[in-house]
Structure 1
Amino acid sequence: MEIATIDIAIFAIYIVFIIGLASWVSREKPGHEKDSSDYFLASKALPWWAVGGSLIASNISAEQIVGMTGAGYDVGLAISAYELIAAASLIIIAKWILPIYLRHNIYTMPQFLEERYNTNVRTVLAIFWLGIYIFVNLTSVLWLGALAMNTVADVNIVYGLIFLGILSMAYSLYGGLKAVALTDIVQVVLLVLGGIITLYVSLEAIGHQFVGESAGFGEGAAYLFEHSRDKFDLIFDEGQHGYEQLPGIWMLLGGQWIVNMAYWGFNQYIIQRALAAKSLHEAQKGICFAAYVKLFMPIIVVIPGIAAALLYPDLAKVDQAYPELLKLVPDGFRGLAFAALVAAIVSSLASMCNSISTIFTMDIYSHFKKGLNEQQLVKVGRITTLVALIIAMLTAQPLLGNFEGAFAFIQEFTGFFTPGILIIFLLGMFWKKANVNSALVAAIGSFLLSIGFKWFAGDVPFLNRMALIFLICLALSVLVTYLTGGGKDDPKAIDLSELDTTTTASFKVNAVAVFVILIGLYVAMDF
């Protein structure tokens, strides 16, 4: 796709602005040196809007923008389940999970596991998360981001990898989480604005092409809904195209909740934003903000994909839908939309790098090398960020370059561990009898059962498979707990009676509103 000079200029302005903003917010007061709390948890001073914006920016990347637009092209609005159930999951996490984290004053997920179980569980899972974050998450965002830049703007893939890596380092390496979180709100504004522009031009094009030259956005929207009604189902019937990815009502009763609860509640590079909030109530306000944005995301990401199916019914690959739609965007606005795409990629990279450095520094390096001062911890964190990005840039193409459907593979691979991770945390938080053995059974069982189901029951939809494995591993963990613990409470059990889960009136109103909107959408779109 040809990029006009004005688009290049707008994109360059974005780059200069985001690096300048990151440098400005990273400044320290005279005489104060950045310590570990500053670098890894933004001095625990993030306001609600930074928490919410950073949650969204960390989550949305090229695979969501290009991939979900492509999924909208292929299966329609039902793919929105990943966004809609995320909104409900965020409310649950804000109410019952986040107070436990903040009560224990933790930096990382492995740290919590040591406090609840033991050091071995902390170390093993810290190493596991580092491997996943570097060789799966970081490499995939880099590679798929470079591919997206190549498709949208004809940027050489190798140059794209280098550019994305350097840009994410440029504004996050020095400032840490504070720089990432406070610039993420700009990234979210760009992301939403770019999505609105793409939605508008796609519906306007439908109006011009199918209704008449004088028709516009409104007529295009009405025509799309009327002539693509099958693409607006939120719940599939068995045998309907897309059921294997989104298996009807069973998806809503099981697999989607497991994916979203594990991702939003027990994922370091996501939950770290909430841990850095000024207070519990400020974090909960930020999470409510993120929940509303998740409810809005299908409108600006999935519906343009459905529009593309009407405008370009014969695309060779569904992921071509987003680049095709960008061709409709006028010069100038195209640069803004491209900046939004890069913003989504870079904010995810920066978030992952900061969490990698946090886990390595706080859970591995400082655990085995005692007596480090605050400045040494920050230095190790910065070096870790740099090394992780270099490793990911060097390994992205060898790991993913020759793999078809890389994102789907990555989702399924990480899903091998998701049921076990969810069980370890939920039992550790809410069941006093859970012990080290129950945690190990959940982790090992989840992996082995996932391989077994994949090998012997590959036709079972992925989300249903996760739900079945979750139930089996949960039963095994409870059984092993009673066999090895004698039915006694574990000495490291959490005393929930000391936990304050009261919420403000505004949180309760917003929580109810999110669930009412969610239920209303499913009822309205399937009747």
Structure 2
Amino acid sequence: MTLTTLDLAILGCYVLGLMLLAYWVSRDERGQQKDTNDYFLAGHSLPWWAIGASLIAANISAEQIIGMSGSGYAIGLAIASYEWMAAISLIIVGKYFLPIFLKRQIYTMPQFLQQRFDNRVRTTLALFWIAVYVLVNLTAVLWLGALAVNAVTGLALFESMLLLALLSLAYSLYGGLKAVAFTDIIQVVLLVAGGLFLSYLTLQQIGDGQGVHAGLERLMQQAPDKFQMILTKDNPHYVSLPGLSVLIGGLWVINLSYWGFNQYIIQRALAAKDLAEAQKGIVFAAFLKLLMPIIVVLPGIAAVLILPDLAKPDEAYPQLMNLMPSGIKGLIFAALVAAILSSLASMTNSVATIFTMDIYRQLKPAASQQHYVKTGRWVSVFALALALITAKPLLGDFDQAFQYIQEFTGFFTPGIVVLFLLGMFWSRTTANAALAAAIGSAVLSLLAKTFWPELPFMDRVGLVFLSCLLLAVVVSLSERQPAPATAVQLSDINFATQPSFNYAAVAVTLVVASFYYAWW
């Protein structure tokens, strides 16, 4: 054990506070039981600050903190493009996607696909998302979280995963999304405070006590190759972040898919009181996103000087934590555990939502609301159990788990973005065209991976997206059908946003542009 009594006390206070808050916000009024709206969408009661905090807490987890710190160690600041470009993507989602989704009053993304296309599209994508959430996302969070717990406490990997799974169920299983979203406020405060403090201490160490600015200057002088936002072709990591394609290519597809059409992310916005509240939450999340590279990437870059001989890049963040003094280590470890638990709870709740509302309810349409809630809870338990069993076989041999996740999901992301964008903004799109895009994405990605292996995966995502877009348009036009009655009537959607949203959008864009200008 490398945690002191003080560290354990801090961690214990966090866990206890989390459980108490979750119980308090989840309690039922006398004589009332949770229905599906309460359990899966928090009764449409989430305020903007809970939405924004929960978006970031769901997003930033072990695969982000451990994985992106590892990529920062191996690649450098260029990996921050995922974070900074995501801030602009969030603005796009809030402005153009949320008005459509909230107008449709949906629970899930597959439900929108049924409303717009047909049940084939809904079921196909529902099964896909369940598989990805369980076998890619949940496994990654558990595995990388266990690596961190093992590095700090010495607890064996499987026992670490089991502990994290049980803790996430303990505070989220009963209360559902409301418990997850409101406890995420604590998670984000801990995450931001602990992450910033770790970055501060590492830069202080590099600066030999002369301050953070001196530490940053020394880091940039001694590791200049780690401060290039746009990688050149001679860079060994160009295949992961291929130059200007980061700004104009496949990263947009990846981000729009993740922030706009990803159930366990967008579910928070679907649970908002109203559209304006959801858009405020989106803006809040965008500003928090600008901070994330300081929290998750900078420590990895600093580890290049502090821990130059790591066996694997993903060891950077856990090993840095071990260098921290007593008390501070407990705080930073609690922040990491907070991020892990939040993402686990968010993912299991979304798996339960999709399975219950998009698959199980079709099989038992006459069941009671409480039956569906109970089913969702059992699905959450089963999903975590399956992830526990498969985590090590799937991820045990990867040095940079974050890149593995991006590579795998990149097979399907282009088709998902095509069918949603066309489904929302082109009324002639048919259900067959949507299926063609979804299936074509996997087929074309596999062919490109097999016969053009040197093509960077981000470029592959962009090219497959364009190919699937063309395929969907051709299929739709060849069917020669009029716009269906289920098409989105854009004339009924109000895309106007409040002045505060518009000012924030400009501010986020200018900040991101300044980052690229500074480290081009």
TM-score range, shorter chain: over 0.9
Q: Once the 2 structures are TM-superposed, how far is the Cα of residue 411 of structure 1 from its aligned partner?
A: 2.4
SS of residue paired to 1:316: coil
Question: 1:153-197 CA deviation, whole Å, 9 max, x = no partner?
Answer: 322111111101110100010000000000011111111111111
2:441 maps to amino acid:
S
Match of 2:95 in 1: 95
Normalised to the residue count of structure 2, the TM-score between the two structures is: 0.97
Q: Once the 2 structures are TM-superposed, how far is the Cα of residue 485 of structure 1 from its aligned partner?
A: 2.7
Q: Once the 2 structures are TM-superposed, how far is the Cα of residue 405 of structure 1 from its aligned partner?
A: 4.8
Q: Once the 2 structures are TM-superposed, how far is the Cα of residue 125 of structure 1 from its aligned partner?
A: 1.4
Deviates more, 1:57-66 or 1:310-319: 310-319
Distance 1:309 1:202 in 2: 11
1:149 maps to amino acid:
V
Which aligned runs of 4 or more in structure 1 are off by greater than 4 angstroms? 402-407
Match of 1:455 in 2: 450
Contact (CA 8 Å) 1:315, 1:321: kept in 2 or not? yes
2:165 maps to amino acid:
G
Match of 1:225 in 2: 220
Distance 1:405 1:222 in 2: 27
Match of 2:114 in 1: 114
Contact (CA 8 Å) 2:67, 2:400: kept in 1 or not? no
SS of residue paired to 2:474: helix
Is 2:387 the partner of 1:396?
no
Q: Equivalent pairs: percent with the same residue?
A: 55
Q: Once the 2 structures are TM-superposed, how far is the Cα of residue 23 of structure 1 from its aligned partner?
A: 0.6
Match of 1:374 in 2: 369
Distance 1:396 1:228 in 2: 34
Match of 1:211 in 2: none
Match of 1:282 in 2: 277
1:9 maps to amino acid:
A
Is 2:297 the partner of 1:302?
yes
Deviates more, 1:61-70 or 1:347-356: 61-70
In the alignment of these two chains, the number of paired residues is 520
In structure 2, runs of 5+ residues without a counterpart are none
Contact (CA 8 Å) 1:435, 1:485: kept in 2 or not? no
The partner residue of 1:489 within 483, 494, 499 is 483
Match of 1:362 in 2: 357
Aligned ranges for residues 437-452 of structure 1 at < 5 Å? 437-452=432-447
1:44 maps to amino acid:
H
Distance 1:186 1:50 in 2: 10
Is 2:72 the partner of 1:72?
yes
Aligned ranges for residues 36-435 of structure 1 at < 5 Å? 36-208=36-208, 214-401=209-396, 405-435=400-430
The partner residue of 2:492 within 489, 495, 498 is 498
Question: 1:262-314 CA deviation, whole Å, 9 max, x = no partner?
Answer: 00000000000000011111111111011011111111221222211122223
Match of 1:5 in 2: 5
Distance 1:161 1:49 in 2: 30
Distance 2:47 2:200 in 1: 32
Match of 2:29 in 1: 29
Contact (CA 8 Å) 1:264, 1:270: kept in 2 or not? yes
Distance 2:371 2:491 in 1: 38
2:437 maps to amino acid:
A
Q: Once the 2 structures are TM-superposed, how far is the Cα of residue 395 of structure 1 from its aligned partner?
A: 2.8
Contact (CA 8 Å) 1:225, 1:232: kept in 2 or not? yes
SS of residue paired to 1:357: helix
Distance 2:387 2:466 in 1: 35
1:320 maps to amino acid:
E
Contact (CA 8 Å) 1:102, 1:280: kept in 2 or not? yes
Normalised to the residue count of structure 1, the TM-score between the two structures is: 0.96
1:450 maps to amino acid:
S
In structure 1, runs of 5+ residues without a counterpart are 209-213
Distance 1:408 1:308 in 2: 19
Contact (CA 8 Å) 1:75, 1:231: kept in 2 or not? yes
Match of 1:510 in 2: 504
Deviates more, 1:422-431 or 1:315-324: 315-324
Deviates more, 1:234-243 or 1:273-282: 234-243
Distance 1:404 1:520 in 2: 32
